[in-house]
Amino acid sequence: MEKQFIFEQVKEMWNNSIAFNSLLGFNITEMTEEHAEIKFNWQDKLMGNPVQKILHGGVTASVLDMVGGVVISANMISRIAKPDHKKIADKLSKLSTIDLRTDFLRPGKGETFIATARIIRHGSKVAVARMELHNEKGEHIAFGTGTYMV
Amino acid sequence: MEKQFIFEQVKEMWNNSIAFNSLLGFNITEMTEEHAEIKFNWQDKLMGNPVQKILHGGVTASVLDMVGGVVISANMISRIAKPDHKKIADKLSKLSTIDLRTDFLRPGKGETFIATARIIRHGSKVAVARMELHNEKGEHIAFGTGTYMV
Amino acid sequence: MEKQFIFEQVKEMWNNSIAFNSLLGFNITEMTEEHAEIKFNWQDKLMGNPVQKILHGGVTASVLDMVGGVVISANMISRIAKPDHKKIADKLSKLSTIDLRTDFLRPGKGETFIATARIIRHGSKVAVARMELHNEKGEHIAFGTGTYMV
Amino acid sequence: MEKQFIFEQVKEMWNNSIAFNSLLGFNITEMTEEHAEIKFNWQDKLMGNPVQKILHGGVTASVLDMVGGVVISANMISRIAKPDHKKIADKLSKLSTIDLRTDFLRPGKGETFIATARIIRHGSKVAVARMELHNEKGEHIAFGTGTYMV
């Protein structure tokens, strides 16, 4: 299988079948070995306080965790020799987040949010990604760093 | 107003009016100056992957962020001289998470989840809380540390 | 070899041969699979600013990193079947810190400092420890969390 | 006083009078409101283990904490209206690290090390900086994120 074709399939699967991502409206829009992107739109159910139209901090942490996991999954897949469905599923079943740090820079205001991730440590046991969250105006809302078991 | 009475009111308000907490089923069950607790039940929409009945990492981060904010809010309120509705609302509007670290220890399996927080640094500008997530069997699922602007 | 005997040997070796620990005066005083302790005394060279007798934040981070590594090393060693010098040296050469979070709670004032660590996640690839730093009066100076490759 | 002149003075003072930095050989080579740099050379006393010529993780954490503090200090100073020695000293005495995360990417091998910091959150109470450590070959050794009280 072609690498980019596999990424497309995984992207589709995750966009359609991870319950929590559907609930929050997360849509994976890019998945490569080095970079990933998730977009989502404002919805009132994402409000973190009773009065202000601001994202709940948990939404921010969730999307950063997810987008970091996407780039790391792509990286894991790209290292499989002669990938097939079984090998890919086996490999992905090993992915889990070890720890996640979220730095909140500005209130999460906006209509559309864009979370991006790039990989900063590849490894056979552990990988690390750095993530960012911006709104549609390019305002920088949060930073994240995630350490993942691979 | 009595301190504990105020805490009850804030608890009620937050349980009923924070959209994201309602969405996830979070229920604040304890709120004092030193300790807070949130309980929630398993629901399929909290699933983090397509095949296993395991909490999404973002749910874990969300509840840890929230329960840390609850104990810190109680602590902020308890420091107000002659508290009234306006003073309390003013004070709470200043609370925001600066950064959050989540350590995932075990897969988030369970029927009921209990998040707890205690305060480890009080201050006039910044406060820090440590949080834990357990399931109904007492299995320890995650640790968290949150730094909050107060 | 007896487990506790091995721990004593590793402790001795580290106390005498890690240059940076000698420089800072760190002394490993306890090493078991579940708990470790390092003590060190105030020295002017540990000062972090020109005027106040307060530990440099880097000293705090260093001792927390080290004491976490000690408990994790003991835990790694205790899992070796029929340990001998070669197996132990092989195993320890794999230990490295992946990430470290330090929470500074109070200024690092004191005559003697006690750093303690306990293990919170054991694993074949990754282990996590939580650490604390107190002074001789029992004042709590810092918290730490370290993720280690094992 | 000219801003850049003040930065030069603070740089000189810190390079000469912070005991722990002298001990480790840290030399502040750049200090502006947005960016800071510290250089230091390999010395055997910075070794973190008995056999390999690798930086102790505590050295890495120390220099990242320090370089983050430098950029944040410059930023604090640049916000003082009509700065004089007293105002600057008052302001700097309020600086303290709240929390520090260090991500270790590669073994700390090299002859010369370059730590850099840029500010990612300015504020009247809390500021956040991101830091990096490279060696003379440009290899990326570590990342850091520090939250500081200002």
Split at pLDDT 50, 70, 90, the class of D122 is confident
Rounded mean pLDDT of B1-9?
87
The one-letter amino acid at D16: N
Question: Among A66-80, B59-73, B129-143, C38-52, which is the least confidently predicted range?
Answer: C38-52
**Confidence (pLDDT) at C131:** 97
Q: What is the pTM of this model?
A: 0.93
Q: Which residues pair with C93 in a beta bridge?
A: none
Q: Are C35 and C49 within 8 A, CB to CB?
A: no
How far does B120 lie from chain C, in Å, by closest CA?
8
A145 interface with D at CB cutoff 8 Å: yes
Helix-then-strand count for chain C, H and E? 4, 6
Q: Which two tokens stand for residue D51?
A: 């056999």
**Could you tell me which of D82, D68, D85, D72 has the C-alpha nearest to residue D33?**
D72
A100-116 confidence digits (pLDDT tens): 999 999 999 999 999 99
Please tell me which of the candidates D101, D126, D145 has its beta carbon nearest to residue B126: D126
The one-letter amino acid at C97: T
Split at pLDDT 50, 70, 90, the class of B1 is low
Please state at what angle helix A85-93 crosses helix A57-78, rounded to 10 degrees. Answer: 140
**Confidence (pLDDT) at D143:** 95
Which residues does chain A have within 8 Å of residue D140's beta carbon, measured at their own beta carbons? 120
Q: Which two tokens stand for residue A129?
A: 């990604």
Which residues does chain A have within 8 Å of residue D101's beta carbon, measured at their own beta carbons? 101, 145
D49-89 confidence digits (pLDDT tens): 777 899 999 999 999 999 999 999 999 999 998 988 899 98
Q: Which two tokens stand for residue C142?
A: 């810092």
The one-letter amino acid at C90: D
User: What whole-number distance in Å separates Cα of residue B102 and Cα of residue B62?
Assistant: 10
Which residues does chain C have within 8 Å of residue A149's beta carbon, measured at their own beta carbons? 125-126
Write the CB contacts of B77 (distance below 8 Å, at least 6 apart in sequence). Answer: B3, B6, B7, B10, B83, B88, B91, B92
Rounded mean pLDDT of D97-119?
96
Secondary structure element (H or E) that encloses residue C131, with its range: strand C126-135
**Could you tell me which of B125, B107, B108, B128 has the C-alpha nearest to residue B117?**
B128
Q: Which two tokens stand for residue D116?
A: 């850099």
Mutation target vs C (from D14, D45, D102; most C CBs, 10 A cutoff): D102
CB contact under 8 A, B57 and A97: yes
**Could you tell me which of D40, D116, D12, D13 has the C-alpha nearest to residue C49?**
D13
CB contact under 8 A, D143 and A147: no
Rounded mean pLDDT of A119-147?
95
CA C59 to chain centre: 12
**Confidence (pLDDT) at A49:** 78
Q: Are C76 and C9 within 8 A, CB to CB?
A: no
User: What whole-number distance in Å separates Cα of residue B84 and Cα of residue B79?
Assistant: 12
B115's torsion region: left (phi>0), alpha (psi -120 to 50) or beta?
Answer: beta
CB contact under 8 A, C98 and A149: no
Task: HSE, CB side, 13 Å, CA atoms: give it for residue B39.
Answer: 6
Q: Which two tokens stand for residue A105?
A: 């820079």
What percent of the residues of chain B are helix, what percent strand, and what percent coil, each to the nearest 5?
35, 35, 30
Split at pLDDT 50, 70, 90, the class of B147 is very high
Task: HSE, CB side, 13 Å, CA atoms: give it for residue D1.
Answer: 19
User: What whole-number distance in Å separates Cα of residue A58 and Cα of residue A47?
Assistant: 10
CB contact under 8 A, B58 and A65: yes
The one-letter amino acid at C34: E
**Could you tell me which of D139, A91, A147 has the C-alpha nearest to residue C96?**
A147
Which residues does chain A have within 8 Å of residue B49's beta carbon, measured at their own beta carbons? 18
**Confidence (pLDDT) at C3:** 86
Residues 86-115 of D with CB under 8 A from C: 96-104, 107
Q: Which two tokens stand for residue D32?
A: 């502006």
What SS3 class is residue B56?
coil
Please tell me which of the candidates D99, D125, D128 has its beta carbon nearest to residue B125: D125
**Confidence (pLDDT) at D1:** 62
A52-95 confidence digits (pLDDT tens): 899 999 999 999 999 999 999 999 999 998 988 899 999 998 89
CB contact under 8 A, A147 and C101: no
C3-37 confidence digits (pLDDT tens): 889 999 999 999 998 999 999 999 999 999 999 99
Q: Which residues pair with D66 in a beta bridge?
A: none
Torsion of CA B4, B9, B12, B14, to 10 degrees: -100
Hey, which chains touch D, using 3+ CB pairs under 8 Å? A, B, C
Sketch out chain B's domains with CATH numbers. 3-149 (3.10.129.10)
The one-letter amino acid at C143: F
- Does the pLDDT value for residue D124 go beyond 90? no
D22-48 confidence digits (pLDDT tens): 999 999 999 999 999 999 999 999 998
Write the CB contacts of B76 (distance below 8 Å, at least 6 apart in sequence). Answer: B91, B92, B95, B127, B150
- Round the average pLDDT of chain D to a whole number and report it: 93
How far does B1 lie from chain A, in Å, by closest CA?
22
User: What whole-number distance in Å separates Cα of residue A146 and Cα of residue A69?
Assistant: 8
The DSSP 8-state label assigned to residue A143 in this structure reads E
